[in-house]
Amino acid sequence: MQRKHMVNLLKILVAVALVAFVLSNVSWRDRYQIVEKKGKDSIVHVEQPGSIRGDWRADPLRFVPEGQEAEIDPRDRLAEFEGAKFELRPGLPTYLRAMDLLYFFLGSLGFFVGVFVGSLRWHWLLRVNELGVSWSQAFRLTWIGIFFNNVVPGLTGGDLVKAFYIARITGKKTRSVLTVIVDRVMGLVALAVLTGIVVFWRVGDLPMIAYGVWAGLLGLLLASTFVLSRRLRSMLKVDRILRRLPGSRLLMSIDESLYLYRSHLPGLFFWMAASVLNHVVMVGGIYLIGEALGVGASPLDYLILVPVIQIASAVPLAPAGWGVGEALFGYLFSHYAYQGLPMASVNVGAAIEVMRTRAIALSIVYRVQIMLWSLLGALFLAFQKGRASSEEMSQLMNDLDEEEPGSAGRA
């Protein structure tokens, strides 16, 4: 078996294992509890499994206890237990079935807006590198890349597809590839910046996330200074060092392409700020999808946790991040976003379990809507001229060192 097929199979197995683990830790059956808080203890007076008919948020609630056929409103039983509280714990299928379609549609538009702005950012990078690619081409290739990332299994990721077609159009391989890499890095950095700003309001609750993000941003700032500072580069004799390293031609081409952005710092800062705002819109879309499901987390929770989840999901452990995203949504939301649930004041364990199920439902719905949007990329791919095989695309990376240093120029 070829190495690439083994890696692909391993990713699929990782995804299957993660999804199986995540789904084994969610509630599948509907049930309710009547709980009383006494000191630090929670006394469960009633725990009844069954099935919810209609929307679990409806009033009156339509609940059929297990083993019965008649519908009841279980909240009527609160009168039997003075001082107790009612806790409804729908299963995952109930959350999905009762989703508010209007909120879902509005939330899904956030993803489209994000892709649209992302294509504008990438087109700016292409123009800076004088690659002569139109915005319409960048827009189409952005969607084709999303299609490969989320629908097509295999090692041919969307970034490689975008780089291949741009290199074919322009004939400039190194700069074409680097625009895709820089675009991806800018998107991830914008996520980190957003988290780094918003986490100030929750640093006491999320110290590891806060300090980790701030440390990463500091490291990136130092690395950027090293790449873009003419004085520092001269002091460290960067050019001389690169000429002596293995693969010096490729390294010098990459270095020259990155150094090019020194002459475009205002545009770089503008698109970084625009990317942060763009992620706010995209996170807002996920928040609306969460509201469609009734997740119950605050907007601040989303602004802090979702960027962290998306950064971690960018690590290619599984196809399209399946399993990884669900595990992260379930863990982070259940540990850091359950406090807003009414039951949290009475039964913390129940609140954590309920939030885990809701967050995993959110992750599943969010990924499915991305796959649906990705079909737009399939439509663009159908009309793409000169479609290539995965072998041809993979060969692009092997051919990068064929370009002579200096092709990017020093601006």
Q: Tell me: cis bond preceding 60? Omega within 30 of 0 counts.
A: yes
Q: Give me the phi and psi of 25, to 5 degrees please.
A: -110, 20
The C-alpha atoms of residue 188 and residue 213 are separated, in whole angstroms, by 11
Q: How far is it, in rounded angstroms, from Cα 41 to Cα 278? A: 45
Most confidently modeled range among 73-77, 138-142, 198-202, 209-213: 138-142
Mean pLDDT, the chain, whole residue set: 83
CA distance 313 to 322: 9
Give the strand order in the sheet containing 63-65. Answer: 63-65, 41-52, 30-38, 85-89
Check residue 270 and give its pLDDT. Answer: 95
CB neighbourhood size of 353 (10 A): 18
Distance (Å, rounded) from C-alpha 311 to C-alpha 60? 41
What is the distance between the alpha carbons of residues 224 and 235, in angstroms, rounded to a whole number? 16
Mode of pairing for the β-strands spanning 41-52 and 63-65:
antiparallel
Spatial neighbors of 394 by CB under 8 A, at least 6 apart, are 4, 155, 156, 160
Convert the pLDDT of each residue in 319-342 to its tens digit. 566 778 888 999 999 988 988 888
Amino acid at 324: V
CA–CA distance, 62 with 215 (Å, rounded to integer): 50
Give the phi and the psi of residue 400 in degrees, each rounded to 5.
-60, -35
CB-facing half-sphere around the CA of 102: CA atoms within 13 A:
0
Looking at 76-186, which runs of residues are DSSP E strands? 85-89
* Higher pLDDT among residues 263 and 75, named by residue: 75
Q: So where are the chain's domains?
A: 1-28+100-411, 30-90
Beta bridge partners of 87: 33
Asked whether the predicted pLDDT for residue 53 surpasses 80, the reply is yes
pLDDT above 50 (res 411): no
- The dihedrals phi and psi of 34, each to the nearest 5 degrees, come to -115, 115
Q: How many CB atoms lie within 10 A of CB 307?
A: 27
The tokens 């809507």 sit on which residue? 369
- DSSP string across 298-328: -HHHHHHHHHHHHHHHTS-SSGGGTTHHHHH
Comparison of pLDDT for 396 and 341, the residue scoring more: 341
Cα–Cα nearest to 87, from 361, 348, 358: 348
Pick 192 or 158 by higher pLDDT.
Answer: 192
Q: Distance between CA 324 and CA 274 in Å, rounded?
A: 28
- Contact between 408 and 129 under an 8 Å Cβ cutoff? The reply is yes
Contacts of 168 (CB under 8 A, 6+ apart): 386, 388
Q: Which amino acid is at 122?
A: W
Q: Which two tokens stand for residue 238?
A: 């960067």
CA angle 286, 287, 291 (to 5 degrees): 115
For the chain, how many residues are written? 411
Letter string b/e over residues 146-178, b meaning 16 or more CB atoms within 10 A of that residue's CB: bbbbbbbeeebbbbbbbbbbbbbbbebbbbbbb
Let me know: does 189 contact 307? Beta carbons within 8 Å: no
What single letter denotes the amino acid at residue 25? N
> Would you state the pLDDT for residue 242?
67
CA dist 312 and 290 (Å) reads 20
List the helix and strand counts (H, then E) for the chain: 15, 4
Q: Which tens digit of pLDDT belongs to each residue from 243-277?
A: 766 656 666 666 666 767 778 889 989 999 999 99
Instruction: Note the pLDDT tens digit of each residue in 90-146.
Output: 998 999 999 999 999 999 999 999 999 999 999 999 998 888 889 999 999 999 999
More confident residue, 228 or 285: 285
What is the rounded distance in angstroms from the CA atom of residue 145 to the CA atom of residue 141?
Answer: 6
Between helix 248-259 and helix 207-228 the angle, nearest 10°, is 100
DSSP-based three-state secondary structure for 84: coil
- Separation CA 236–CA 224 (nearest Å): 15
